[in-house]
Amino acid sequence: MDTQVKDSNIKIVGSPAGIEGPGFMATSIDKVVGLARKNSIWPLPFATSCCGIEFMATMAAHYDLGRFGAERLSFSPRQADLLMVMGTIAKKMAPILKQVYLQMAEPRWVLSMGACASSGGIFDTYSVLQGIDRIIPVDVYVPGCPPRPEQVIDGILKIQDLIQNESIRRRESPQYKAMLAEYGIE
Ligand code: SF4
């Protein structure tokens, strides 16, 4: 039965018959785990050039990425679950980036920030990796050169959506393992 909140137009839906009373909530484990994970992201900033400066602005007081539960940056891959790659990645650096990814525990997500990380950007040369998705899987791409902090925040929100809605069994699925195998990751 609906009840009318006093002096407002807000309606509160009553509990279904039989499950009234305090201290009761029905949900699924996927939703609870997703909610906790999405609001406690520990990003690892892999910043190599100018996009990294824009990321610093995103972390600073004005944009304050901490509002999304992501203020705890991790410079150890073993204590991070979101790899944020920002900047030009030289081919010499590619094995290092892949090693950092491999050192992260599952579940892990990857955000590619800016044109350089996503596609090599303006550096269409022999020495620059033409997109980090050539060596590791990427979950969200943020376009721009550099992207504005609002775009980075939008990318984080997209990552949060993915985290919230991901099945806790996904990482064990044959599809996920097949995707990693395409990158030569066991
Ligand atoms: S995308 Fe633009 S701003 Fe970002 S690292 Fe490349 S050149 Fe610098």
Tens-digit pLDDT profile for residues 139-159:
999 999 999 999 999 999 999
Nearest CA to ligand 1 atom 5: 87
How many other CB atoms are there within 10 angstroms of residue 128's CB atom? 20
How many other CB atoms are there within 10 angstroms of residue 89's CB atom? 26
Domains and CATH numbers, the chain: 38-164+171-182 (3.40.50.12280)
Who contacts 139 (Cβ-Cβ below 8 Å, separation ≥6)? 109, 110, 111, 159, 162
CA–CA separation, 42 and 38 (whole Å): 10
The dihedral built from the CA positions of residue 126, 129, 133 and 134, taken in this order, carries a sign that is positive
Nearest CA to ligand 1 atom 2: 145
Which residue out of 49, 84, 112 has the highest number of ligand 1 atoms within 8 Å of its CB and is therefore the one to mutate? 49
Nearest CA to ligand 1 atom 6: 116
Q: From ligand 1's centre to the CA of 164, what distance in Å?
A: 30
Tens-digit pLDDT profile for residues 13-30:
777 777 666 766 778 889
Residue 5 vs residue 7, higher pLDDT? 7
Residue 5 is predicted with a pLDDT of 54
What's this model's pTM, rounded to 2 decimal places?
0.86
Residue 1 is predicted with a pLDDT of 45
CA–CA separation, 57 and 133 (whole Å): 25
Tens-digit pLDDT profile for residues 107-137:
999 999 999 999 999 999 999 999 999 999 9
